A = this chain, B = another copy of it.
Amino acid sequence: MFKYIENGSITSVNGFKASGLHSGIKKKRKDLALIYSETDCELAATFTKNKFKAAPVLIGEEIHKLGEKVRAILINSGNANACTGDEGMKNAQSCQKELAACLYLSDKQVLVSSTGVIGKQLETNIIIKSLPDLINKLNSLSGSDAAEAIMTTDTYSKSYALEVQISGKSYRIGAIAKGSGMIQPNMATMLAFISTDIKIEKTLLQEALKEAVDLSFNRISVDGEMSTNDTVLLLANSTSSIAIEKSTIEYVQFKEALIDLCRKMAIDIVKDGEGSSKIIEINVKKCENIETANKIAERLANSLLIKTAIYGEDANWGRILSAIGSLEIDFNPDDVEIFINKNSIISIGRKITIDESIVNESLKNNYIYLDVVMNSGEKSTQWWTTDLTEKYIDINAHYRT
């Protein structure tokens, strides 16, 4: 149905250009990115639920609410412009206005996005001074520069693009994302920007994005922290001849492709989780309802004792049972089955089914499967998390020094 494009990025989609450079917000690395569409785009968006929303998030929410057709996204890393009050809002707006003027757009066609340290005022002069150069560098091969420029504690950039074939014709979806710490459901310190060349109504585009985010970025956790800046923006520029309409097979295909792309980026973010050495795929199965399944998965994804046990390559299933048991949910403790790396460890009746040393051996892998079967219904969920290492502590104890 769809296939990934080698070294694909947000600029693999017709009509989208990007650039990225070092402006001086960060000491050395790239810190400023621009995504530009040659034509008007429908916008779909999801934002953090944190009460302390960063200034650029508030600006984005308004543009999204107004239903504006957008053209450009300016993103800086190194400074989140969060908890910066009225001055922070003015700073975000002045970057927005300045870029709009340079590109001959209206203000509302320009989105802004920030990630980095909280509570520090943005040095707008540095950003504004760099805009001509940033615009000058715009081209359809520079998605990777933009992906690099939005990184904070990320150790590698995240870019993907895929192509969907529909009866001889095709369209594309491209994306870049960042995220490494402060990762938890309901959007984390993560930004993702997605482009596509389909023609689609805003409400349907939003519906597809919401479902994709729910099944990807909202099911990952690194440290249970929720950021002030999380943003996913999806721009559709209609430049392909493919129109996607409600209740069609084409819409289902588009959603499938979008979900797959979002999951790829979500898993990349977990894989790059601060200090992590392993990625843990959590499958919670046969629950009474989806809320319970997600509650259990989230608890396991955030348990320090489970995450440290996996880091220590110790199949400490007692900590898994104990974490499930700590939740305010109804279940029969004797019905719970646990599998680690597909080995049955605890079967119905709380029976230990395997010598742990066999499982410990398999924990040397970098991708760990943790399956919990509750046997109380038919609902399942899938989450991703990391182990927890000394390096996470080191990164976050000395983040600002």
Residues of A that sit less than 8 Å from B by CB: 49-53, 80, 82-83, 85, 117-119, 181-182, 184, 186, 223-228, 302-305, 308-309, 311-312, 314, 316-319, 321-327, 331, 333, 346, 349-352, 388-390, 392-394, 396-401
Contacts and interface: CB of A to CB of B under 8 A. Distances in A.
A316 B400 contact: yes
B390 A393 contact: yes
Contacts of A350: 83, 85
Most B CB atoms within 10 A — which of A53, A117, A351, A394? A394
B50 A308 contact: no
Nearest to A389: B393
B388 A312 contact: no
A318 B397 contact: no
Contacts of A394: 390
8 contacts: A51-B324, A83-B318, A119-B317, A181-B305, A225-B322, A304-B392, A311-B397, A393-B393
Contacts of A52: 321-322, 324-325, 333
A49 B50 CA distance: 30
A3 to B, nearest CB: 38
A232 to B, nearest CB: 17
Nearest to A85: B350
Given A83-B321, A390-B394, A50 B326 contact: yes
A105 to B, nearest CB: 31
A305 B118 CA distance: 12
A interface, over-half SS: loop
So how many copies of this chain end up in the complex?
2
Contacts of A324: 51-52
A312 B225 contact: no
A369 B41 CA distance: 50
A317 B223 CA distance: 18
Contacts of A119: 316-318, 321, 352
Contact of A396 (B117, B186, B312, B351): B312
B304 A225 contact: yes
Contacts of A309: 396-397, 399
Contacts of A314: 397-401
B388 A182 contact: no
B224 A304 contact: yes
B393 A325 contact: no
Nearest to A329: B51
A223 B333 contact: no
Contacts of A302: 224
A102 B327 CA distance: 40
Given A50-B325, A118-B319, A326-B226, A401 B312 contact: yes
Contacts of A53: 325
Contacts of A392: 304, 308, 393
Given A51-B327, A226-B322, 6 more contacts: A51-B331, A119-B352, A227-B322, A309-B396, A314-B397, A390-B394
Contact of A85 (B351, B390, B398): B351
A343 to B, nearest CB: 15
Nearest to A352: B119
Most chain B CB within a 10 A radius of its CB, from A82, A311, A393, A399: A393
Contact of A82 (B224, B228, B318): B318
Contacts of A305: 181-182, 223, 225, 396
Nearest to A186: B326
